């Protein structure tokens, strides 16, 4: 195997290659080539630009089982190796620049990445590690472009064999980068989950954070934006919609001035992010629920270590009336007259009387949200 890396340059051997660039490719400053290489040549190609890595790789203590796609690739390698290059969908590679040495059949790629075919690459790697003879060829398509936005879009569009999760799409498009940067001002070690393969404990649950922020978002900000005001129930029950709405605002605010409705809502997300995360963690283990007798709480001894989201989301949403913009961002200005004990008591009543002591029912019940919101609204009027 002649594949090797030298800085940002990947050098690999190919068996055949052909330039298939059309006039539209050339007009837009890109080139497209197709070719064949031995399977072993694919192993050192990075997957940095891919919306997903090999899904069977272990991440932390979790490991995804092989799916039909992985088993079919293995079957083709084991039973039809001579036909692998025509039966397998092959690899899609992007690079910012390239050089071809036809004498040595060497291809040098600058900042190359696999953007489709990570499952093929991973299965071949596993088979090789288990002693399989990989005397087979792989088809590849090479797209050479310096257009970073296009690379992200190609990565998303080409991943069709396994449905791409929304979090991977948002991460690939940079939708979450600025939110993460604002969070890191409070905690430099914090990392948002930006891909479906980011599963270890070192990553913060991005979708959960966005759900919490949506629950805290003031109605007037939502109503003026492209999202529009919605029942707060959706912040608990529709995490995919929350992420989709955040992505929508991210795109909409790009061409707005600072006083644009979508830009104001987007800035709210950035500013309230650290506050929202702390608030969620606070209520997720709030010791004020001790003595309530609620059976759905998880305890270690006398300490509460987990409270179901369905129980606390109506509480969090009710605090949206106290959201306040300050010079350096946003805060939750909960009046001292309203202590957490009263919120816990109101939540217990909603939980037992309206939701039948079922946290999922409470999280999806408009009546439970309304009862908590009525309480906080009364205090809001008292303090002005």
Do 15 and 149 lie in one domain? The reply is: yes
Do 251 and 286 lie in one domain? The reply is: yes
User: What's the confidence (pLDDT) of residue 67?
Assistant: 55
User: What's the confidence (pLDDT) of residue 66?
Assistant: 53
Q: What is the count of structural domains for the chain?
A: 2
For the packed helices 261-284 and 239-252, what is the interaxial angle rounded to 10 degrees? 150
Do 147 and 267 lie in one domain? The reply is: no
pLDDT > 70: percent of the chain: 91
* pLDDT tens column, 272-319: 999 999 999 999 999 999 999 998 999 999 999 999 999 999 999 999
User: pTM of the prediction?
Assistant: 0.65
User: What's the confidence (pLDDT) of residue 229?
Assistant: 84
Q: What is the mean pLDDT of residues 167-187?
A: 92
Do 159 and 176 lie in one domain? The reply is: no
Do 84 and 140 lie in one domain? The reply is: yes
Query: What is the span of the domain harbouring residue 28?
Result: 4-164
Place of tokens 């990565």: 155
- pLDDT higher than 50, residue 12: yes
Do 214 and 344 lie in one domain? The reply is: yes
User: What's the confidence (pLDDT) of residue 100?
Assistant: 96
* Cα(216)–Cα(329) distance, integer angstroms: 14
User: What's the confidence (pLDDT) of residue 338?
Assistant: 96
Q: What is the mean pLDDT of residues 144-151?
A: 87
Do 214 and 353 lie in one domain? The reply is: yes
Which has more pLDDT, 120 or 153? 120
Do 225 and 352 lie in one domain? The reply is: yes
Q: Kindly report the average pLDDT of the chain as a whole number.
A: 88
User: Quick one: three-class SS letters along the chain?
Assistant: CCCEEECCEEEEECCEEEECCCHHHHHCCCEEEEEEEEHHHHHHCCCCCCCCCCCCCEECCEECCCCHHHHHHHHHHHHCHHHHHHHCCCEEEEECEEEEECCCCEEEEECCEEEECHHHHHHHHHHHHCCCCCCCEEEEEEEECCCHHHHHHHHHHHCCCCCCCHHHHHHHCCCCHHHHHHHHCCCCCCEECCCCCCCCCCEECHHHHHHHHHHHCCHHHHHHCCCCCCCCCHHHHCHHHHHHHHHHHHHHHHHCCCCCHHHHHHHHHHHHHHHHHHHHHHHHCCHHHCCCCCCCCEEECCEEEECCHHHHHHHHHHHHHHEEEECCEEEECCCCCCCHHHHHHHHHHHHHHHCCCCHHHHHCCHHHHHHHHHHHHHHHHHHC
Do 368 and 249 lie in one domain? The reply is: yes
Q: What is the mean pLDDT of residues 200-228?
A: 94
pLDDT > 90: percent of the chain: 65
Among candidate residues 147, 164, 181, the one where a domain is terminated: 164
Among candidate residues 116, 137, 164, the one where a domain is terminated: 164
* pLDDT tens column, 43-99: 889 888 776 565 554 343 344 445 566 778 888 887 788 889 998 889 999 999 999
Do 329 and 247 lie in one domain? The reply is: yes
Do 121 and 212 lie in one domain? The reply is: no
Among candidate residues 121, 139, 164, the one where a domain is terminated: 164
Do 158 and 248 lie in one domain? The reply is: no
Q: Which residues of 10-25 are buried (b: 16+ CB within 10 A; e: fewer)?
A: bbbbbeebeeeeeeeb
- pLDDT higher than 90, residue 343: yes
């Amino acid at each position: 195997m002649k594949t090797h890396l030298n800085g940002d340059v990947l050098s690999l051997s190919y068996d055949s290659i052909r330039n298939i660039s059309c006039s539209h490719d050339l007009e837009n400053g890109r080139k497209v080539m197709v070719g064949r290489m031995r399977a072993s040549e694919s192993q050192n190609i990075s997957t940095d630009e891919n919306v997903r890595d090999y899904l069977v790789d272990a991440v932390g203590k979790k490991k995804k089982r092989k799916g039909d796609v992985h088993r079919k690739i293995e079957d083709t390698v084991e039973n039809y190796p001579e036909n692998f290059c025509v039966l397998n969908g092959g690899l899609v590679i992007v690079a910012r620049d390239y050089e071809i040495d036809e004498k040595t059949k060497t291809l040098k790629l600058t900042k190359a990445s696999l953007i489709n075919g990570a499952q093929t690459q991973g299965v071949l790697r596993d088979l090789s590690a288990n002693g399989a003879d990989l005397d087979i060829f792989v088809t590849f398509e090479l797209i050479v472009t310096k257009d970073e936005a296009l690379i992200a879009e190609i990565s998303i569009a080409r991943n069709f064999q396994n449905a791409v999760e929304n979090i991977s799409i948002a991460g690939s498009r940079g939708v979450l980068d600025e939110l993460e940067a604002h969070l890191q001002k409070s905690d430099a070690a914090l990392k948002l989950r930006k891909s479906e393969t980011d599963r270890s404990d070192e990553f913060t649950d991005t979708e959960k954070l966005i759900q919490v922020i949506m629950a805290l978002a003031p109605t007037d900000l939502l109503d003026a934006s492209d999202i529009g005001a919605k029942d707060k129930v959706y912040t608990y029950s529709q995490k995919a919609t929350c992420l989709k709405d955040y992505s929508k605002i991210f795109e909409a605010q790009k061409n707005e001035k600072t006083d644009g409705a979508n830009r104001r809502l987007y800035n709210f997300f950035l500013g309230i992010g650290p506050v929202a995360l702390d608030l969620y963690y606070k209520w997720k283990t709030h010791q004020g629920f001790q003595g309530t007798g609620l059976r759905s709480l998880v305890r270690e001894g006398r300490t509460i270590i987990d409270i179901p989201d369905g129980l606390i989301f109506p509480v969090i949403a009710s605090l949206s009336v106290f959201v306040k913009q300050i010079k350096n961002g946003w805060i939750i200005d909960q009046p001292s007259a309203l202590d957490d004990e009263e919120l816990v008591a109101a939540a217990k009543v909603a939980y037992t009387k309206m939701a039948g002591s079922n946290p999922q029912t409470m999280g999806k019940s408009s009546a439970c949200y309304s009862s908590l919101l009525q309480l906080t609204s009364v205090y809001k009027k008292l303090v002005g």
